[in-house]
Amino acid sequence: MGMVLYGMDNTRDINDEIMIRHASAVKKAAKNSLVFFDLPYSKKFSEKNIIKRTINIFNQTKCDGVKIEGNSELVDVIKYLKKMNIPVMAHVGLQPQKFSSSSKFKIYGRKDDDLKNILNDCIDLEKAGAISLLLEGMLTKIAKQITITSKIPTIGIGASENCDGQILVSEDMLGMFTEYHPKFVKKYAKLSTNIQNAIKKFRKK
């Protein structure tokens, strides 16, 4: 949202207020879909901070759950939120909020210990009560192994076709955002060009 709607260079600058506004609008419009909000980045990383902010956004937006970027450090957070009846989707692999610029995004899984580490993380997150795993920007073999091992659904974004489900940023898929184009995204339209051409035609009349 920060990059495709607000022209930010990263996802960090989205704050809770912006997320509440957008997630509330989506939840209001989506009558037949589960809606999860993405917990915004915070410099203050603590379990108390994450829990407090999550509960606040959840209550204000009336969303169905929250997606949180992180690894095994989220175990106690997920356990607590589960008790509060707040479903958590755990976001592992490439975690955009850790980077100050999209140019620094790196595919996860190139190091020798990556598979072992992320498998252990996913097992811990699942045991803690996560209802699904969002796998982003990782090698095919890792996404495949996680999907085989996990008893909860895996949703991939740039993580091969081996996941249980897929997600794409609509602005990328529709060709509306041209500043950054992930290699794994297939464009099904060029709406940015079409919109510009339509406006040019209108201007000439």
Residues designated catalytic: 136
Whole-Å CA distances, 14 to 9, 18, 20, 38, 113: 11, 6, 10, 10, 32
Neighbours of 124 (CB within 10 A): 17
Which pair of structure tokens corresponds to residue 193?
């060009």
SS3 content of the chain, % helix, strand, coil (to 5): 45, 15, 45
8 A C-beta contact, residue 6 and residue 41: no
